[in-house]
Amino acid sequence: MAFQWFTIVFGWASFFLFVVLAAYKIHRIATLPLNLRWEVYPVPHETGDKRLYGGSYMEEVDWVKKPRPSSPLAEWAEMGSEIFFLKRVREHNPYHIWPLSLALHWGLYLLILWMGLLAATVFVPALAFLTMAVGIAAFVLGACGTVGLIVKRATDRNLALYTAPIDYFNLVFLAIIFGLGLVSWLGDPHFSQHQSYIASLLLFRPTPVSTNAILFFFLLQAFAVYMPCSKLIHYVMKHFTFHEILWNDEFKVKGSSKDKQIDRQLSCLATWAGPHIAPGKTWREQVRGPLAGEDQEK
Amino acid sequence: MSKKPIRFRDVARPGNDPLVSLDAQTLMKLDPLEEQPVPRTPRPAWLETYDFSLDGFSDFDRPRPKTLEEQERFVQAFLSGLEKLFDPRNNWTFLKALKLSLDYCLRCQTCSESCHVYLASGKQEIYRPTFRSEVLRRIYQRHFTASGRWLGSFLGADIELNFNTVWRLLEMSYRCNLCRRCAMVCPVGIDNALLAREIRKLFSQELGIAPAELFRKGSRKHLEAGSSTGMTPAGFRDSIESIEEIIAEKTGRKVKVPVDKKGAEVLLIHNAGEFLSWPENPAAFSILFDAAGVDYTLSSDLLGYDAVNYGVWFDDLELGRVALRHVEIARKLGVRKIVVGECGHAHKALCVVADRVLPGNLSLSEVPRESCLPLLRDIVKSGVLRLDPKRNDFPVTLHDSCNVVRLMGIVRPQREILQAVCAQPLREMTPHGVWNYCCGGGGGFAIMDTLNFSEWRNAVSVRMKVKQVLDVFKDVLDPGTRKYVVAACSNCKGAMRGAIAHYGLKDKFGIGYGGLADLIVNAMSDLPRPYIEWDQER
């Protein structure tokens, strides 16, 4: 009974740890200073064929005074094609990792869906068959994707040179989770043990669960805690790289919040040691003031 | 180039032996050129003094440290700069993009073949967009993160840090044109070109090391003398007289070029290199603006006649200093907006990047900065000019400046102009528009000529563009057929000039180059003779 309570507590703790750690990582990035404009076209929120050929509002004379139509929906659609189809990997990766990577990602998506279905099945038993189908698909795709990527990274020198042990660790971690999922399914074709565990979590009702199933959930929960601490949380960071930097074409308007933020940032001291940088001055003073250092080394 | 596999630990290899050495046989082929130029190795005297340990090329005529103590000081200064790169006060300008790109790269190598340098070199490992980023990442993890200190080689953070590592990292940052084509294809939005620029910035802002052409003879000369060309305000006024003479001679028209006209609608700023190397381009602007009745002025104020901003390639403070002065000149003149002439990096610096280093009263909302291309397009389409496309009855292709297309999204105006002023359909390169390849002169390379750097540029950096040009004209390569590569950017023109001379494209294939405004004026049917003179250097 104590162990069963422990599995419940560990399950909820891992969930909250995941949320807290992910929020902390997001907060750390979100609160970094406002980046200079650094967009790359096409930016998908452009409308009409500009979105296709990569045009911008700057193709117009006097664009400051003109309306600049924007489609946030198109921006999210582009991100959707990246999330669900790995569009850029498919179109540009020269080492043919797309099918493997797609399998891994869909394995993860279906795994999350399967967990949701397991929870739903507690209240709607009719979902059992769908839950089983989704679970099997998740484990098969995930296992194929992770194992395939491990082999690919180890055997293709274009990838192997850049693959550190931590990258293999991440893939092996996931491969074991998907593999255990498959093994536990073989012994429990309807995932009844997994469903029992999820029900015990949701209802705070200690329930005996098979070793396979509990080992699977332990590893999955450990992974949930580990993920925000690793670069595997890249799916969240894409929001910042794309929406805040590569697709951010917003120009500065006097008196706006961005203008005020830049004003604060210009008040920071620049303590670089280069001979052309005066000591003890803020960015504003460095940029506006008399030129320092006639004699840079080269 | 040699194809001996490179490992990351090789970056720390002591001595002056290059990690790779150029081998013409493995460079990307350039059909139908039969003879591949073979770059020369550094002169023996240079090898004794300077460092060529990356690939046998360098733009840095800075003597290698002679003692271990000097080398150690150099490494420590690098580490100090690296720390500041991650400090929100010292690097607020790009810290967010830097952190994201350094921490979340999945090492999938999707970006590899988007890089023209990597492809042109025969896929040489050290030129892969991720290679220099990975070196930077591993050094950073090892020295500035707890996980890197504890886990070391498990994270990959196992590169020895010595003088050679640091110097080769510096050199690697100047093997990237900053075209940012790699950033377009990354599934996570990682920007390896930004990381190259951050490395450049670290060296400039902390160690005071930057190519002479970019800093001492570049942004410093710009800020002190008024132009990176060394042109003073008095020299500029002389060149305006020359421009008026060129206009009179070529067109028979007496056009007064307005200078320092208070309250004009537009302040037009050219790259001052145009006045010296391609004066027909600013002259063409004056002909067009005069004919269209544009209320504009040039400025003779210090910096006001040179749109360049080399800081955008290597130094945020220099970027801000130049941009601030440009916009303040516009305020002083009381113009409504600034229009940037045919200079790609000046477009990006003034119209986009520098916006967030300027105070509120100089924001884009207060002093708009625009590209010249939409204005030229509107002039051409307005019907105010009498244009005869038959005057441009020769094959024309368009080289897209990365700064204008990929980094500003200005793609259509130049094409609409060419459609209106050329007799033959535009020959689009493959790829083109936002997917274009850099001319090979981007990121400052067009003007970097110290030691043997220009040999690397000609052999590797411009190679993809030469291939594209040869491919697009492959059915008309007879040198008797004049062909025109439009490059609406001074640095791109500089790179084209070098490439055409190096590969003999003019003599062998009749391939020339020039600006866009020149081509528009060449189509003006009310001029007595063609504006473009094919026998000039172009």
Residue type, B313: W
Instruction: Return the CA Rg of chain A.
Output: 25
Residue numbers in B near A41 (CB within 8 A)? 405-409, 411, 434
CB-count exposure of residue B232 (10 Å: 0-12, 13-18, 19+): middle
B150/B251 Cα distance (integer angstroms): 73
* Whether B479 contacts B508, CB under 8 Å: yes
B39 pLDDT above the threshold of 80: no
Q: Would you call A203 helix, strand, or coil by DSSP?
A: helix
Interface mutation vs chain A, best among B83, B303, B408, most A CBs within 10 Å: B408
Q: Quick one: pLDDT at residue B225?
A: 95
Q: Do B89 and A54 touch (CB under 8 A)?
A: no
Residue B399's φ and ψ, nearest 5 degrees, are -90, 120
| Tokens 């793609």, residue located | B411
In a domain, A297, yes or no: no
pLDDT per residue as tens digits for the range B264-290: 999 999 999 999 999 999 999 999 999
In a domain, A185, yes or no: yes
Helix A98-123 and helix A128-155, axial crossing angle in degrees, nearest 10? 160
Helix or strand run (H / E) with residue B141: helix B129-144
| Tokens 């043997």, residue located | B452
Short-list A210, A135, A117, CA closest to A177: A135
In a domain, A256, yes or no: no
Starting at the earlier edge strand, list the strands of the sheet with B266-269: B296-297, B266-269, B337-340, B369-371
Among chain B residues, CA nearest to A260 = B360
Interface mutation vs chain A, best among B60, B82, B356, B417, most A CBs within 10 Å: B356
Q: What CATH number is given to the structural domain containing A169?
A: 1.20.950
pLDDT per residue as tens digits for the range B65-110: 999 999 999 999 999 999 999 999 999 999 999 999 999 999 999 9
DSSP string, B301-315: STTTT----THHHH-
Q: Quick one: pLDDT at residue B153?
A: 87
Q: Do A37 and B356 touch (CB under 8 A)?
A: yes
B295 pLDDT above the threshold of 70: yes
B40 pLDDT above the threshold of 80: no
- Domain span at residue A203? 2-246
Q: Do A33 and B134 touch (CB under 8 A)?
A: no
Q: Would you call B485 helix, strand, or coil by DSSP?
A: strand
Asked if omega into B18 is within 30° of 0 (cis), the reply is no
Residue type, B480: G
Residues 237-276 of A with CB under 8 A from B: 237-238, 240-242, 244-246, 249, 251-255, 258-259, 262-263, 265-266, 268-276
In a domain, A260, yes or no: no
Residue length, chain B? 538
Residues 50-79 of A with CB under 8 A from B: 50, 53-64
Beta-carbon neighbour count of residue A160 at 10 Å?
Answer: 12
Q: Do A266 and B357 touch (CB under 8 A)?
A: yes
B103/B111 Cα distance (integer angstroms): 16
Residue type, A209: V
Interface mutation vs chain A, best among B11, B50, B89, most A CBs within 10 Å: B89
Helix or strand run (H / E) with residue B169: helix B163-173
Short-list A251, A272, A280, CA closest to B318: A272
Sequence-distant (6+) residues with CB within 8 A of B92 are A33, A34, A265, A268, A283
Asked if omega into A42 is within 30° of 0 (cis), the reply is yes
Give A116→chain B minimum CA distance, Å: 27
Q: How many CA atoms lie within 13 A of B388 on its CB side?
A: 10
B382 shares contact with chain A (CB less than 8 Å): no
Residue length, chain A? 298
B164/B177 Cα distance (integer angstroms): 22
B232 pLDDT above the threshold of 90: yes
Helix or strand run (H / E) with residue A155: helix A128-155
Starting at the earlier edge strand, list the strands of the sheet with B511-514: B396-399, B483-487, B511-514
Beta-carbon neighbour count of residue B66 at 10 Å?
Answer: 8
A283-291 LR contacts (CB < 8 Å, sep 24+): A283/B92, A283/B317, A283/B320, A283/B357, A284/B359, A286/B317, A286/B320, A286/B321, A287/B317, A287/B320, A287/B321, A287/B324, A287/B357, A288/B324, A291/B220, A291/B223, A291/B224, A291/B321
Among chain A residues, CA nearest to B379 = A61
B106/B95 Cα distance (integer angstroms): 19
B242 shares contact with chain A (CB less than 8 Å): no
pLDDT in tens, chain A (298 residues): 788 889 999 999 999 999 999 999 999 999 999 999 999 999 999 999 999 999 999 999 999 999 999 999 999 999 999 999 999 999 999 999 999 999 999 999 999 999 999 999 988 989 999 999 999 999 999 999 999 999 999 999 999 999 999 999 999 999 999 999 999 999 899 999 999 999 999 999 999 999 999 999 999 999 999 999 999 999 999 999 999 999 999 999 999 999 999 999 999 999 999 999 999 999 999 999 877 765 444 4
In a domain, A261, yes or no: no
B35 pLDDT above the threshold of 70: no
User: Residue B283 corresponds to which tokens in the numbers above?
Assistant: 């002259």
In a domain, A92, yes or no: yes
* Whether B467 contacts B28, CB under 8 Å: yes
Q: Quick one: pLDDT at residue A215?
A: 94
Q: Report, as an integer, the average pLDDT of B211-233.
A: 96
A52/B527 Cα distance (integer angstroms): 39
B329 shares contact with chain A (CB less than 8 Å): no
In a domain, A285, yes or no: no
* Whether B369 contacts B337, CB under 8 Å: yes
Q: Would you call B51 helix, strand, or coil by DSSP?
A: coil
B109/B122 Cα distance (integer angstroms): 16
Q: Quick one: pLDDT at residue B536?
A: 64
User: Residue A275 corresponds to which tokens in the numbers above?
Assistant: 């001979």
B348/A166 Cα distance (integer angstroms): 38
pLDDT per residue as tens digits for the range B145-183: 988 888 888 888 889 999 999 999 999 999 999 999 999
Give B248→chain A minimum CA distance, Å: 29
B57/B41 Cα distance (integer angstroms): 8
How high does pLDDT run on average in chain B? Answer: 95
Q: How many domains does chain A have?
A: 1
* Whether B361 contacts A253, CB under 8 Å: no
Q: Would you call B16 helix, strand, or coil by DSSP?
A: coil
B262 pLDDT above the threshold of 80: yes
Q: Quick one: pLDDT at residue B2?
A: 45
B22 pLDDT above the threshold of 90: no
Interface mutation vs chain A, best among B215, B317, B325, B449, most A CBs within 10 Å: B317
Q: Do A89 and B110 touch (CB under 8 A)?
A: yes
Short-list B372, B374, B377, CA closest to B350: B372
- Tell me the whole-structure pTM to 2 decimals: 0.96
C-alpha distance from residue B364 to each of B328, B368, B497 (Å): 12, 5, 34
| Tokens 């074991």, residue located | A176
Of the pLDDT bands very low, low, confident and very high (cuts 50, 70, 90), residue B38 is low
Q: Looking at residue B67, what DSSP letter applies?
A: S
User: Residue A296 corresponds to which tokens in the numbers above?
Assistant: 């840079």
In a domain, A276, yes or no: no
Beta-carbon neighbour count of residue B248 at 10 Å?
Answer: 13
Of chain A, the end-to-end C-alpha distance in Å amounts to: 73
Helix or strand run (H / E) with residue B268: strand B266-269
Residues 117-156 of A with CB under 8 A from B: none
Question: Between chain A and chain B, how many beta carbons pairs sit less than 8 Å apart?
Answer: 306
Which residues make beta-bridge pairs with B269? B340
Q: Quick one: pLDDT at residue A298?
A: 40
